[in-house]
């Protein structure tokens, strides 16, 4: 299956209508506040993160690498409108861990109705998945990561990691990831600047006119 450009275009053009529907849904459920989050997961491991390096003309860049294959996953949600975010480190990419993450999100934002916009991962739609009552899962068109602004957060996180030393232990890497995420939590402006996709912000602005 490939990306359908017409489907992507139709999704963007109809996004305002979708957001309006979510607002009505929240009101019917009795919630006075609604959050719009983009959701995704990213694999973080001891395998090297390769980035371009500046050298003199004709000089081959040399960097220390270590080809260990230990890893973990970061599950996350980000709100482009406010800069809020929430992340969890989990050991695998599957329905069980996604269920745990949804429960954590529900508890973190228990007083609001929370729309999580993400991709069509199989485990995002598992038949055994129990969606908390204050969460609604909205799916982007297949194969359209360019519509999900959290992708830029993962890129920023990995760019920051690539500027550090090569990590030899997974817990050292985990600690560094936590430090970066704490910075995201402290400075909402970082997330806002990374995730300010016009198709989302323009639609949200019209809802609250």
Q: Each residue's pLDDT tens digit in the chain (209 positions)?
A: 678 999 999 999 999 999 999 999 999 999 999 999 999 999 999 875 554 555 455 555 555 555 457 999 999 999 999 999 999 999 999 999 999 999 999 999 999 999 999 999 899 998 799 999 999 999 999 999 999 999 999 999 999 999 887 788 999 999 999 999 999 999 999 999 999 999 999 999 998 75
- CATH of the domain spanning 5-52+59-207, picked from 1.20.1250.20, 3.30.420.10, 3.90.1560.10, 1.10.10.10: 3.30.420.10
Contacts of 54 (CB under 8 A, 6+ apart): 61
Q: Where are the domains of the chain?
A: 5-52+59-207
Residue 59 CB neighbours (<10 A): 9
The reported pTM is 0.89
Contacts of 15 (CB under 8 A, 6+ apart): 199, 200, 203
């Amino acid at each position: 299956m490939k990306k359908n450009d017409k489907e992507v275009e139709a999704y963007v053009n109809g996004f305002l209508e979708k957001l309006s529907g979510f607002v009505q849904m929240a009101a019917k459920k009795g919630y006075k506040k609604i959050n719009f989050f983009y959701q995704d997961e990213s694999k973080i491991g001891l395998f090297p993160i390769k980035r371009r390096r500046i050298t003199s003309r004709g000089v081959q860049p040399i960097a220390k690498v270590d080809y260990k294959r230990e890893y973990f996953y970061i599950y996350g949600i980000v709100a482009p409108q406010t800069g809020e975010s929430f992340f969890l480190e989990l050991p695998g990419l599957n329905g069980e861990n996604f269920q745990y993450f949804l429960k954590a999100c529900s508890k973190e934002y228990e007083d609001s109705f929370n729309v999580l916009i993400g991709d069509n991962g199989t485990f995002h739609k598992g038949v055994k998945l129990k969606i908390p009552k204050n969460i609604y899962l909205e799916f982007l068109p297949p194969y359209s990561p360019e519509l999900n602004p959290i992708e830029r957060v993962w890129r920023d996180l990995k760019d920051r990691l690539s500027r550090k030393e090569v990590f030899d232990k997974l817990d050292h890497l985990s600690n560094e990831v936590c430090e970066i995420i704490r910075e995201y939590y402290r400075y909402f402006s970082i997330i806002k600047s990374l995730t300010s996709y016009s198709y989302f912000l323009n639609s949200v602005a019209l809802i609250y006119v």
